[in-house]
Amino acid sequence: MKQVVTFGEIMMRLSPPLNLRLTQASSLDVNYGGGDANVAAALAQLGQPAAHAGCFPDNDLGRAAAQHFQRLGVDMQHCVFRGQRLGLYFLEVGASLRGSKIVYDRADSAFANLDPAWFNWEEILKDAQWLHWTGITPAISVSAAQATREAIQAARRLGITVSADVNYRRNLWQYGQKAQDVMLELVAGCDVVVCTEGDAEDLFGIRPEEGREDRFVSMCEQLQQRFPQIKQVIATRRETQSASHERIRGLLYDQGAYHETTPYDIVPVIDRIGGGDSFISGFIYGWLHYGQDPARALGFATAASALKHTIVGDINLVTAAEVEHIVQGNVTGRLLR
């Protein structure tokens, strides 16, 4: 099977144990994650070959982060080791009515200072059938945005499917260019996008038409008119009951046809970080392995995302068989012997 390739920054995640607050913590648990790389790692667990391209500092922290993904089966041969700093983020896991909190410490990371010339995309993508990126990557720096642009252009030349989670993070765009200007060109090169109504309005000025009850469909129709290359728009609809209780369902607009899953009720939520990454990785896997059946791919994606909420860390450590078990309605968590 050909690879799915992802591109983006990997950071160290530091969390107090249990549900302690950062102000209470005397120790921190170490994990690693990044929106794009989480997709590659989840796909590798499902049995889909995946590779990640990125930049790490040339020190023990950079090698530890890369080796974490390599141990999970991700091909890391296209990663560059230059620079001094690995980005960090601190996660305080909430419970019940106290929400989780994240503090970022990622400025001036090795990835932010990468040189696009370090990545030979024709070579990186030679064994690929799919390229995935997120809106976080071009938000980090001018050079990261340029490398993303070159990756998409190479994928288009090679006839490779391109997907993106537009993932608008307003506070990340600090280098003098507007997200709206940068993202227009990048999204125009995508076949599949993860996009909510809020992101579509913030990034593209697209609003659901007045009086339309099917707001997601209205947004998707306009998005596909603006970006004709896009074939599918997917999203999760999240109904947060508390920090420990979520209801999620999957939505898909596929060139005029709308699909929606029944909701999954997840309680208690163990870790919701990476839920969106597990959704798109599940969709990619389902699309590639189940005969390009939109409804089946969406069902697999939503079940995968639901399972991720029960797993500590950024990455969805589940097999395809475990996801299919949920798809088939086995949601009681019964002990398997």
Active site residue ranges: 277
Half-sphere exposure of residue 55: CA atoms within 13 angstroms, side-chain side: 23
Buried b (16+ CB within 10 A) or exposed e, 108-122: ebbbbbbebeebebe
Report whether 81 contacts 58 (CB < 8 A). Answer: yes
Residue 18 burial (C-beta neighbours within 10 Å; 0-12, 13-18, 19+):
exposed
CA 49 to chain CA centroid, Å, is 17
Contact residues for 202 (Cβ-Cβ < 8 A; gap 6+): 168, 170, 179
Cβ count within 10 A of residue 192: 23
Q: What secondary structure letter does DSSP report for 23?
A: T
Where do runs of H (alpha helix) occur along 267-329? 275-289, 294-308, 320-327
What residue type is 273 in one-letter code?
I
Contact at 8 Å (CB) between 309 and 70? no
Of 97, 136, 116, the residue nearest 245 (C-alpha): 97
